[in-house]
């Protein structure tokens, strides 16, 4: 099933035509909190395209690009790659996707990421999903992940947790201060976490639905109720 989530529009420079601006949802949370897992479900249910900043950086290493070695050594230290590199990869991926609704997972990881994305793309997120999970649970999950990642070892995991606390949580706090964060308890089983995620996307859908459509539905329900009452009053439904 695919459900729609609204797309904002903005006037083009000449003011003649309305140009669609992509809808972006940032998906944040500590390493191993379940961002990638939940994004796969959101894609299936709500028609978003998912980009993981970490996956794009790993792709860059595998492609043998000139930045590959620098990215690899930073990732192995759990450090945050310069924003210029990551924002370029995200921008290219969005432009080539053909979609207008994006989940951007594991980004922004620090304030520099956040500011660079806004400056380069001109896009602010519609909202931010934050997966809240205790460190011990995230550590357990990463050590069981088995995806052959060089940085999924206990030494690098500890460094990544430190960077998360020092650089990434303040970004979540910033978005919280402007009322854009939907915090999810991510320590529960996958299906339970997704129930909460689904509720967020469904309620956003309801809010962005054209007013007329919502009104039409409630008017129809009221009419049906009126007919039923009138049948009952006139005894038409006798015997049922
Ligand atoms: P992230 O993208 O945030 O680093 P992942 O989605 O890769 O996290 O999840 C990390 C590991 O934990 C994966 O092996 C995944 O299958 C598992 N996992 C994800 N969500 C849950 C959950 N709610 N409960 C238990 N294990 C989970
Ligand atoms: O999100 P994920 O766990 O896949 O990220 C793995 C690594 O990729 C991070 O620890 C970091 O080194 C790098 N990364 C980054 N900037 C981002 C996202 C990930 O440098 N915005
Ligand atoms: Mg991930």
- Atom 6 in ligand 2: which residue has the minimum CA distance? 54
Judged by average pLDDT, the poorest of 34-38, 145-149, 176-180, 222-226 is 222-226
pLDDT of residue 205: 80
Q: Could you report the per-residue pLDDT of 105-148, keeping only the tens digit for each?
A: 999 999 999 999 999 999 999 999 999 999 999 999 999 999 99
Q: Is the pLDDT score of 221 beyond 60? A: no
Within 8 A by CB and 6+ apart from 1, the residues are 45
- Atom 20 in ligand 1: which residue has the minimum CA distance? 34
pLDDT of residue 92: 98
Which has more confidence, 221 or 155? 155
pLDDT of residue 32: 98
Whether residue 219 is annotated as binding a ligand: the answer is no
Whether residue 149 is annotated as binding a ligand: the answer is yes
Q: Could you report the per-residue pLDDT of 7-38, keeping only the tens digit for each?
A: 343 444 444 355 678 999 999 999 999 999 99
Q: Classify residue 131 by burial, with Cβ atoms within 10 Å: 0-12, 13-18, 19+.
A: buried
Q: Return the CATH class of domain 21-209.
A: alpha beta
Q: In this structure, which ligand is nearest to the CA of 39?
A: 1
pLDDT of residue 3: 45
> What is the Å distance from ligand 1's center to 63 Cα?
26
Q: Locate the domains of the chain by residue range.
A: 21-209, 210-240
Q: Classify the phi-psi angles of 41: left when phi > 0, otherwise alpha if psi is within -120 to 50, otherwise beta.
A: alpha
pTM surpassing 0.75?
A: yes
Pocket-forming residues, ligand 1, beta carbon under 6 Å: 29, 31-37, 141, 144-145, 189-190, 193
Start-end of H helices in the chain: 35-46, 53-62, 68-76, 83-97, 111-121, 135-143, 154-163, 169-177, 190-208, 211-233
Ligand 2 atom nearest to CA at 160: 10
């Amino acid at each position: 099933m695919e459900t729609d989530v609204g797309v904002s529009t903005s006037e083009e420079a000449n003011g003649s035509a309305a140009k669609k601006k992509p809808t972006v949802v940032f998906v944040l949370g500590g390493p191993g909190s379940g961002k990638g897992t939940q994004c796969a479900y959101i894609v299936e249910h709500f028609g978003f395209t998912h980009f993981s900043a970490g996956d794009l950086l790993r792709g860059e290493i595998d492609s043998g690009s000139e930045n590959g070695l620098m990215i690899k050594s930073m990732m192995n230290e759990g450090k945050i790659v310069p924003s210029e590199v990551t924002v370029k990869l995200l921008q290219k991926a969005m432009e080539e996707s053909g979609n207008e609704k994006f989940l951007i997972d594991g980004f922004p990881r620090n304030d520099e990421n956040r500011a660079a994305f806004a400056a380069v793309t001109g896009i602010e997120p519609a909202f931010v999903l934050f997966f809240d999970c205790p460190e011990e649970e995230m550590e357990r999950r990463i050590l069981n992940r088995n995806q052959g990642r060089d940085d999924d070892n206990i030494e690098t995991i500890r460094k990544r947790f430190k960077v998360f606390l020092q650089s990434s949580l303040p970004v979540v706090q910033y978005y919280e201060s402007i009322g854009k964060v939907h915090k999810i308890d991510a320590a529960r089983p996958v299906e339970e976490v997704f129930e909460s995620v689904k509720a967020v996307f469904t309620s956003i859908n309801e809010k962005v639905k054209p007013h007329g459509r919502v009104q039409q539905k409630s008017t129809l329900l009221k009419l049906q109720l009126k007919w039923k009452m009138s049948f009952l009053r006139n005894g038409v439904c006798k015997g049922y």
